[in-house]
């Protein structure tokens, strides 16, 4: 639907001065927002921002203490009022597959929800066929829900939410915990529903890089709205530039830059600095002056991303960026050899091969990212290397010991931080640290030394007596990291460690990891679904169907895809929906809608721009601009996995013939 048409429509969701309390805790405070018919509206913020409480109240499944929630012109303030709008709403709660039945198949789940919503058999057959094709789940009709990957569960959950064709879809963090390909699939489905059927979509997400996909959005923090508007309006609130470059020695360069700039990040060998200078030449001059005798190399100036804007707004509110606490020194700092080596590792579960001939190396002092779709085999690799699960075949060494024969020796030499953090929530910060020190056999003197180190390293001063269960997510995360490091391991395994943490907390966490690697020589193996986080890694391995299909530094992986598939073009039009259909029809494979803009890869940017303009003009679509954009790691990931999926389908088709 055209944005001008959307803007003239009266809101179908209107929230004014909304307040939600849980006992004495105020979860949402005086929130105002309006969602217009036919638009895609985003609620962006970390865990604890108030997104879920707000969405549940709009869906009519949660009571509230103050303000007003109006949906389709009805004030939703009672069960009776909620019943009046229920048939017009589809609600997908937070959590992978939480609205589904694990022992039912894909098709059985869909049929159950359709009958619950009184969908006729004829309508069910038509809608089911269309939604299964759109989500690429048609081949898995008979598979039990419990055997689906995370991304597949979310897509099935979406089908069950939409099977009765609601006017308003309320989706609470639908892309959390799913891989980038499933995320992109999800957004393509939502864009098609919004464009083709005029469905109004309200989505919450903790992924800041998804903010640009919405028509309008609200940034939430601590139960309050920081700002609302279109992505362009929000971006205009914080004018400036993002400068990316290399500088050696990196830690000294960071220290100098932090004296002047509030947003300074290490991205592997590169630095990423936000400056309020809007003129590129002035931004470069300012950075160079701050570095003094350290000479920056490979300088690049870009517009700030929406995450940079969100962080700037948080900083304006008084939320302070954490700063590093001086040098970290441990006996491991001198060891720069191989810390992890996997050689031909494979693991079978019956006739299914979960990991297939995986080989890679991680040096001491290196941050290595293991990326892959849900079900790619990443966790199985980590469990084999940790000694938790024996391999079917192959070899592996961690911190100088053979994973097959080391037994408890591996556990003494590694730190492991799971996504669940593995902390005791009813203990204080100090009690958790001392408990983990005892588990690893530290004596009283060593425990005291490590306690002081962890409190300083993780920025926990003032929290020592606080109950862990009451800590903000970012603080709890840093405590979990400290507990994983209490015994001074040479190797650190991190499994999705920053899920749900706010951007300032994530950036501080990565600052700590960078220092651990660079100054202590700790080898870090990390899995993450935040592709922006993968930029922090020195090297990456991309897994697909149990195999490593691409490996290298972030820059090398981007360069390779650019050579194969071309440059990323961003197309701005007055009618994004029809434009996407026209672009796809013209043969631009992999084109995707990003909010109101289209992204596609082009081998011949000049020729393709002219062809794009001609094709869209003949469809009555006006092209407002075409510009080159730097490739992201998400683009790399999606390109690689989609190519492999096409290859698999072609092989299967050939075998069938």
Long-range contacts of 556-559 (CB under 8 A, 24+ apart): 557/633, 557/636, 558/630, 558/631, 558/633, 558/635, 558/636
Question: Which tokens hold the place of 121?
Answer: 């058999």
Q: What is the pLDDT at residue 267?
A: 85
Q: Does domain 3-229 have CATH number 3.40.50.300?
A: yes
Question: How many alpha carbons lie under 13 Å from residue 111 in its C-beta half-sphere?
Answer: 9
Q: State the DSSP code for 325.
A: -
- Indicate the average pLDDT of the chain: 87
* Residue 31 φ/ψ, nearest 5 degrees: -90, 135
Of residues 404 and 100, the one with the higher pLDDT is: 100
Q: Is the pLDDT of residue 135 over 50?
A: yes
Res. 524: pLDDT tops 70: yes
Its CATH architecture, for the domain 331-552, is 3-Layer(aba) Sandwich (3.40)
**Within 13 Å of residue 171, how many CA atoms lie on the same side as its CB?**
32
State residue 528's pLDDT score: 80
Contact 320, 265 (CB under 8 A): no
Nearest to 503 by CA among 9, 135, 49, 25: 49
- The whole-number pLDDT of residue 82 equals 94
Residue pLDDT, tens place only, 325-345:
444 444 333 345 799 999 999
pLDDT, position 320? 56
Taking residues 359-382, report their average pLDDT. Answer: 89
The whole-number average pLDDT for the span 20-33 is: 91
pLDDT at 183 over 70: yes
- Residue range 266-294, pLDDT digits in tens: 888 889 999 999 999 999 999 999 999 99
Whole-number Cα distances in Å, 309 to 212, 242, 503, 594, 610 = 12, 11, 11, 18, 33
Q: What token pair was written down for 402?
A: 């053979």
Q: Which pLDDT belongs to residue 498?
A: 77
Strands (E), 82-128: 89-92
Q: Which two tokens stand for residue 283?
A: 């931004």
3-state secondary structure of 6: helix
pLDDT at residue 410 is higher than 90 = no
Give the pairing type, strands 567-573 and 547-552.
unpaired
Q: What is the mean pLDDT of residues 39-45?
A: 93
- pLDDT at residue 540 tops 70: yes
Q: How many whole angstroms separate alpha carbon 569 and alpha carbon 609?
A: 9
Rounded CA gap, 273 and 254, in Å?
A: 10
Residue with tokens 């990456």: 540
d(CA 212, CA 425): 36
Q: Where are the beta strands (DSSP E) in 473-546?
A: 491-495, 523-527, 539-544
Kindly give the residue spans of alpha helices, DSSP state H, lying in 163-249: 180-197, 231-235
Taking the C-alpha atoms of residue 181 and residue 350, their distance in angstroms, rounded to an integer, is 27
pLDDT digits (tens, 9 = 90+) for 72-96: 999 999 999 999 999 999 999 887 6
Integer Cα distance of 142 and 125 in angstroms: 16
Query: What percentage of residues in the chain have a pLDDT greater than 90?
Result: 51
Total number of residues shown for the chain: 657
Is the pLDDT score of 174 beyond 60? yes
Report, as an integer, the average pLDDT of 182-196.
82
pLDDT for 327: 47
Can you tell me the distance from the alpha carbon of 616 to that of 611, in angstroms, rounded to the nearest whole number? 9
State how far the Cα of 645 lies from the Cα of 649, in Å rounded to an integer: 6
Q: Helix crossing, 121-135 with 150-162: angle to 10°? A: 150
Q: What is the pTM of this model?
A: 0.82
Two structure tokens written together for 266: 């290490």
Q: How confident is the model at residue 119 (pLDDT cuts 50, 70, 90)?
A: very high
Within this chain, domains 3-229 and 331-552 share the same CATH topology: yes
- Of the listed ranges 428-442, 493-507, 558-572, the least confidently predicted one is 493-507
Predicted confidence (pLDDT) per residue in 196-225, tens digit: 788 999 999 988 888 888 999 999 988 999
Q: 355, 546 in Cβ contact below 8 A?
A: yes
- For 55-65, write each residue's pLDDT tens digit: 999 999 999 99
**Euclidean distance between CA atoms 180 and 182, whole angstroms:** 5
Q: What secondary structure does DSSP assign to 284-317, as a single string?
A: HHHHHHHHTTSPPEEEEEEPPPHHHHHHHHHHHT
Instruction: Give the strands of the sheet with 414-417, arranged side by side.
Output: 414-417, 491-495, 523-527, 367-372, 539-544, 547-552
Q: What percent of the chain shows pLDDT beyond 70?
A: 94
Nearest CA to 374 out of 592, 213, 156, 206 is that of: 156
Residues 6 or more apart from 129 whose CB is under 8 A from it?
138
- Place 324 in a pLDDT band, splitting at 50, 70 and 90: very low
Confidence of residue 595 (pLDDT cuts 50, 70, 90): low
Q: Which residue has the higher pLDDT, 139 or 216?
A: 216
DSSP codes, 588-633: -TT-EEETTEEEEEESSHHHHHHHHHHHHHHTTPPEEEEEEEPPPH
- Count of CB atoms situated within 10 Å of the CB of 324: 18
In what helix (H) or strand (E) does residue 358 lie, and over which residues does it extend?
A: strand 352-363
Q: How far apart are CA 391 and CA 385, in angstroms?
A: 9
Residue-range domain boundaries for the chain? 3-229, 241-303, 331-552, 556-656
What's the topology of domain 556-656? Answer: Alpha-Beta Plaits (3.30.70)
Q: Residue 457 — very low, low, confident or very high, per pLDDT cuts 50/70/90?
A: confident
Check residue 416 and give its pLDDT.
Answer: 87
Q: What is the CA radius of gyration of the chain?
A: 25
Residue with tokens 């949660």: 62
To the nearest 10°, report the CA torsion of 533, 534, 537, 539. 180
Q: Show the tokens assigned to 7.
A: 């803007």
- How far apart are the C-alpha atoms of 454 and 44, rounded to whole Å? 31
- Residue for token pair 């698999």: 648
The residues, ordered by sequence, that sit 6+ positions from 608 with a Cβ below 8 Å of its Cβ are 569, 588, 602
**pLDDT category of residue 419 using cuts at 50, 70 and 90:** low
Q: Are 521 and 327 in contact (CB under 8 A)?
A: no
599 CB burial (10 A radius; 0-12, 13-18, 19+): middle
- On the question of pLDDT at 194 being above 70, the answer is yes
Is CATH 3.30.420 the classification given to domain 241-303? Answer: no
């Amino acid at each position: 639907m055209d944005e001008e048409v959307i803007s003239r429509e009266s809101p179908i969701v209107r929230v004014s001065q909304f307040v939600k309390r849980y006992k004495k805790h105020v979860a949402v405070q005086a929130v105002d927002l309006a969602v217009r018919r036919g638009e895609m509206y985003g609620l962006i913020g970390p865990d604890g921002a108030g997104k879920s409480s707000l969405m549940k109240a709009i869906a009519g499944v949660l009571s509230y203490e103050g303000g007003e929630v109006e949906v389709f012109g009805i004030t939703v303030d009672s069960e009776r009022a909620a019943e009046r709008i229920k048939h017009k709403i589809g609600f997908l709660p937070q959590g992978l597959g939480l609205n589904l039945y694990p022992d039912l198949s894909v098709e059985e789940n869909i049929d159950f929800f359709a009958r619950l919503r009184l969908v006729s058999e004829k309508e069910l057959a038509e809608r089911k066929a269309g939604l299964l094709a759109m989500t690429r789940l048609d081949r898995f009709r008979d598979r039990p829900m419990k055997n689906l990957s995370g991304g597949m569960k979310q897509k099935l959950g979406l089908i069950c939410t939409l099977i009765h064709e609601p006017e308003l879809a309320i989706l609470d963090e639908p892309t959390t915990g799913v891989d980038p390909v499933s995320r992109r699939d999800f957004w393509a489905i939502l864009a098609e529903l919004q464009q083709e059927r005029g469905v109004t979509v309200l989505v919450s997400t903790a992924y800041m890089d998804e903010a640009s996909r919405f028509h309008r959005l609200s940034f939430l923090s601590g139960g309050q709205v920081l700002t609302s508007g279109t992505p362009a309006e929000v971006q205009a609130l914080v004018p400036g530039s993002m400068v990316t470059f290399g500088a050696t020695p990196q830690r000294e360069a960071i220290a100098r830059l932090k004296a002047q700039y509030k947003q300074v990040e290490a991205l592997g060998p590169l630095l990423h600095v936000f400056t309020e200078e809007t003129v590129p030449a002035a931004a470069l001059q300012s950075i160079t002056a701050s570095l003094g005798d350290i000479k920056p190399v490979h300088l690049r100036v870009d517009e700030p991303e929406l995450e940079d804007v969100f962080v700037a707004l948080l900083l304006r509110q008084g939320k302070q960026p954490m700063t590093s606490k001086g040098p970290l020194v441990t006996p491991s700092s001198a060891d720069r050899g191989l810390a992890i080596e996997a050689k031909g590792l494979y693991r079978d579960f019956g006739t299914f091969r979960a990991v297939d001939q995986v080989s890679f190396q991680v040096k001491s002092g290196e941050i290595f990212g293991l990326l892959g779709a849900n079900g790619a085999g990443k966790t199985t690799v980590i469990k084999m290397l940790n000694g938790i699960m024996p391999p079917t075949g192959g070899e592996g060494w961690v911190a100088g010991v053979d994973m097959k024969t080391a037994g408890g020796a591996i556990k003494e030499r590694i730190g492991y931080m799971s996504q669940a953090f593995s902390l005791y929530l009813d203990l204080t910060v100090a009690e958790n640290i001392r408990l983990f020190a005892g588990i690893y056999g530290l004596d009283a003197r060593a425990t005291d030394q490590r306690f002081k180190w962890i409190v300083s390293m993780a920025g926990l001063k003032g929290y020592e007596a606080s109950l862990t269960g009451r800590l903000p997510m970012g603080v709890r995360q840093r405590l979990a990291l400290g507990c994983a490091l209490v015994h001074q391991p040479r190797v650190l395994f991190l499994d999705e460690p920053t899920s749900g943490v706010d951007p300032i907390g994530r950036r501080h966490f990565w600052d700590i990891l960078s220092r651990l690697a660079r100054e202590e020589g700790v080898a870090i193996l990390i899995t993450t679904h935040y592709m922006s986080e993968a930029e922090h890694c020195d090297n990456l391995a991309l897994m697909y169907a149990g195999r490593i299909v691409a490996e290298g530094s972030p820059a090398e992986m981007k360069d390779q895809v650019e050579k194969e598939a071309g440059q990323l073009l961003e197309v701005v039009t007055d009618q994004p929906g029809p434009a996407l259909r026209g672009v796809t029809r013209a043969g631009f494979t992999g084109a995707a809608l990003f909010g109101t803009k289209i992204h596609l890869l082009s081998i011949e940017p000049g020729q393709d721009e002219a062809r794009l303009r001609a094709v869209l003009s003949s469809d009555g679509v006006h092209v407002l601009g075409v510009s080159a954009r730097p490739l992201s790691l998400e683009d790399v990931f999606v390109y690689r996995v989609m190519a492999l999926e096409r290859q698999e389908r072609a092989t299967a088709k050939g075998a069938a013939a």
